[in-house]
Amino acid sequence: MISAAELLIIKNYIRSKKKDSFLKIISIFSFLGISIGVATLIIVMSVMNGFRAELFDKLLKFNPHITVHSVGNDELSIPKLIQFFNEKKIEVKSIRKVIKAQGLLVSERSNSGIGIIGINKEDLLKDEFIKDLSGYEKGSVVVGTALADKLGIAKNNKINVLSANNVSTPFGKLPQQFTYKVASTFSSGVSELDYNYVFIPYNDALEFIKNNKNLISVDIKIKDVNNVDLYKKELQKNFQNYYFTTWIDNNQTFFDALLVERNVMFIILTLIIIVAAFNIVTGMTILVKNKTKEIAIFNTLGMSKFSISKIFFIMGSFIGISGTIFGVILGVVFAHNIEAIRQFVSFIFQVKVFPPEIYFLSKMPSLIDYKSVLIICFFSVLITFFASLYPAMSASKLNPIKGLKYD
């Protein structure tokens, strides 16, 4: 508890006199440094969380959550997989058999290596980014809008696709060529999909791969995407003739890079708070030196060393806590309105901030994680507590005889 005398002294010291103006400037810089550090941490973490959420959303829009492959020549049985999920009470959004192969798309303008996905019309319609499949039938293909623009392809055009399978001709073995009609185009918002993949009917894909069962898989999307590793282990126990991969397995390097970047940014930006905390040490140390005579008088009047150290500890902590609170308010408000701020800056300075053609996002993402905000607050307050300890202990160790010797 704080006594009335201690509180009175703290209030008197906080209201700096003219002769302590330099100390007041240091305190203001300490307050601003901690505020800016906390706000910057919150803003950067929020933007990174927003990026992560947007990227995951786009990845999960295209990539299956669990992919099933057959070991050897065993047939993939969708009914058995559905039965397993029903027994385990796992909600499945979609489950479908697909063929994934590689080919070379040849057009009048240019050629491009592409990924070919063979899938039935009713299964393809489950993808939310597919709008028009009116012409999706045997001998047709659905092409990404970005790929179509790149190669100069339009609806109803004919395209040629070369496969890795060779055919014998009088001129030797040549890649097998297939001709398809462009039924429609799609735009998923995922650049990887829009530039590199085409959809063809499942039976056409079987012809394209010459019934190579190694290229046939089952794609599963479930509601609870965060527990795919747990479901994968259960599936592997029950279906030993299949092997399973998850969306996390397929993007592990990407996730690890995001995690490392996030942790490094947190450490680097925390240094701003640490530097501001050194200002608290400097300011409180100067205050202790300036108040040597008064501290000696307090000792002479019977005030305990603990009370004296408490006074200076509370003063340093007050700067840190108030700076942290202001920084949290500033950071949350900025992170919440970051897209409006981006548009304002772009309009005022006539420059593109966060151009969508580079980042493939129409707006700057921001997702405030209040758990992270609490962690930032905890570290900020903890740092200021440690910064306040040294001057507080120095004040309590002052010898009252030496403090009054020359007065």
- Rounded to an integer, the average pLDDT of 334-353 is 82
Instruction: Say yes or no: 153 and 207 in one domain.
Output: yes
Instruction: Say yes or no: 274 and 223 in one domain.
Output: no
Tokens standing for 291? 């108040």
Higher-scoring residue by pLDDT: 167, 250:
250
Q: Which of 284, 274, 265, 249 is nearest to 389 (CA)?
A: 284
- Rounded to an integer, the average pLDDT of 205-216 is 81
pLDDT > 90? residue 329: yes
The domain boundary residue, chosen from 246, 280, 313: 246
In the chain, the number of structural domains is: 2
12: Cα within 13 Å, side-chain hemisphere? 9
pLDDT at position 325: 93
User: Using 50, 70 and 90 to split pLDDT, how confident is the model at 328?
Assistant: very high
Q: What distance lies between CA 99 and its chain's CA centroid? A: 31
Instruction: Say yes or no: 187 and 224 in one domain.
Output: yes
- Rounded to an integer, the average pLDDT of 100-112 is 81
Instruction: Say yes or no: 177 and 280 in one domain.
Output: no
Instruction: Say yes or no: 280 and 315 in one domain.
Output: yes
pLDDT at position 364: 79
User: Using 50, 70 and 90 to split pLDDT, how confident is the model at 56?
Assistant: confident
pLDDT in tens, 368-396: 888 888 988 998 888 888 888 888 887 77
pLDDT > 90? residue 237: no
- Of 84-98, 159-173, 368-382, minimum mean pLDDT range: 159-173
Residue 213, domain extent: 64-246
* Pair type for strands 216-222 and 66-70: antiparallel
- The structure tokens 């003739």 sit at 241
- Rounded to an integer, the average pLDDT of 304-314 is 80
User: Using 50, 70 and 90 to split pLDDT, how confident is the model at 101?
Assistant: confident
Instruction: Say yes or no: 123 and 17 in one domain.
Output: no
The domain boundary residue, chosen from 182, 217, 246: 246
* Pair type for strands 92-106 and 216-222: antiparallel
The domain boundary residue, chosen from 203, 220, 246: 246
Instruction: Say yes or no: 89 and 49 in one domain.
Output: no
Q: Where does residue 288 rank: exposed (0-12), middle (13-18), buried (19+ CB within 10 A)? A: buried
pLDDT at position 330: 93
Instruction: Say yes or no: 326 and 192 in one domain.
Output: no
* Residue 133 region by backbone torsions, left for phi larger than 0, else alpha for psi between -120 and 50, else beta: alpha
Instruction: Say yes or no: 207 and 291 in one domain.
Output: no
* Pair type for strands 140-144 and 158-169: unpaired
User: Using 50, 70 and 90 to split pLDDT, how confident is the model at 16?
Assistant: low
User: Using 50, 70 and 90 to split pLDDT, how confident is the model at 287?
Assistant: confident
Instruction: Say yes or no: 123 and 45 in one domain.
Output: no
pLDDT at position 270: 82
User: Using 50, 70 and 90 to split pLDDT, how confident is the model at 209?
Assistant: confident
pLDDT at position 400: 63
- Of 169-173, 288-292, 330-334, minimum mean pLDDT range: 169-173
Identify the helix (H) or strand (E) that includes residue 23.
helix 21-62
**CA–CA distance from 202 to each of 101, 119, 124 (Å)?**
12, 4, 10
Instruction: Say yes or no: 94 and 217 in one domain.
Output: yes
Mean pLDDT of the residues in the chain = 79
- The structure tokens 């399978």 sit at 165
Q: What is the 3-state secondary structure (H, E, C) of 105-128?
A: EECCCCEEEEEEEECCHHHHCCCC
The packing angle between helices 370-396 and 252-290, to 10°, is: 30
User: Is-contact 80 239, C-beta < 8 A?
Assistant: yes
**CA–CA distance from 339 to each of 269, 335, 361, 364 (Å)?**
22, 8, 12, 6
Instruction: Say yes or no: 189 and 129 in one domain.
Output: yes
